[in-house]
């Protein structure tokens, strides 16, 4: 700043401008829906794929298994593309939260998948909660403000 003093009134005015700018940023971030929606969608894909691998894959033909796997991969690609193309704003800290949720969901997903090879149990009482446990972390952290 040069030698001319910034008057208290001018400083007060600039603080009001900053507050307004903060409010604008909050409003923009509050309207973000693409990133949270993608989080839930990917979580659901993982949960459905886990259930498919338990109930459908063991009796599926090669073609059916390929179609389900292809659909899963296509769903992931569509979600990521929609995120990259459609989002107008990335809420503050969202990437870190999303990555944390994705990491937890992936751990639950792969542990559950490994478990399915180790035990013959196919009860919905076991696998539906595990599928929900796969969906929840990424959905929760991806939609958390």
Site string for another protein, 71-100 (x = CB under 8 A): -------------xx-xxxxxxxxx-----
Choose the binding region for another protein from 13-21, 42-50, 55-63, 104-112 (rule: CB under 8 A): 13-21
Q: b or e along 40-71 (b: 16 or more beta carbons within 10 Å of the residue's beta carbon)?
A: bbbbbbbbbbbbbbbeeeeebeeeebeebeee
CA distances from 79 to 16, 34, 108 (A): 39, 9, 21
User: Which residue from 18, 78, 107, 124 is in contact with another protein, where contact means CB under 8 A?
Assistant: 18
12 forms part of the interface with another protein (CB under 8 A): yes
Q: Which of 25, 58, 70, 129 binds another protein (CB under 8 A)?
A: 25
């Amino acid at each position: 700043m040069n030698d001319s003093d910034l008057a208290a009134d001018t400083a007060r005015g600039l603080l009001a401008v900053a507050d307004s700018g903060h409010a604008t940023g909050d409003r923009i971030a509050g309207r973000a829906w693409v990133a949270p929606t993608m989080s839930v969608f990917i979580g659901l894909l993982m949960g459905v794929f886990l259930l498919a691998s338990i109930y459908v894959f063991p009796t599926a033909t090669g073609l059916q298994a390929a179609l389900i796997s292809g659909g899963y991969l296509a769903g992931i690609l569509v979600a990521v593309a929609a995120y990259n193309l459609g989002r107008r704003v990335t809420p503050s800290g969202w990437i870190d939260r999303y990555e944390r949720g994705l990491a937890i969901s992936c751990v639950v997903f792969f542990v559950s998948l490994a478990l399915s090879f180790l035990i013959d149990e196919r009860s919905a009482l076991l696998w539906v909660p595990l599928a929900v446990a796969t969906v929840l972390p990424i959905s929760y952290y991806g939609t958390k403000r």
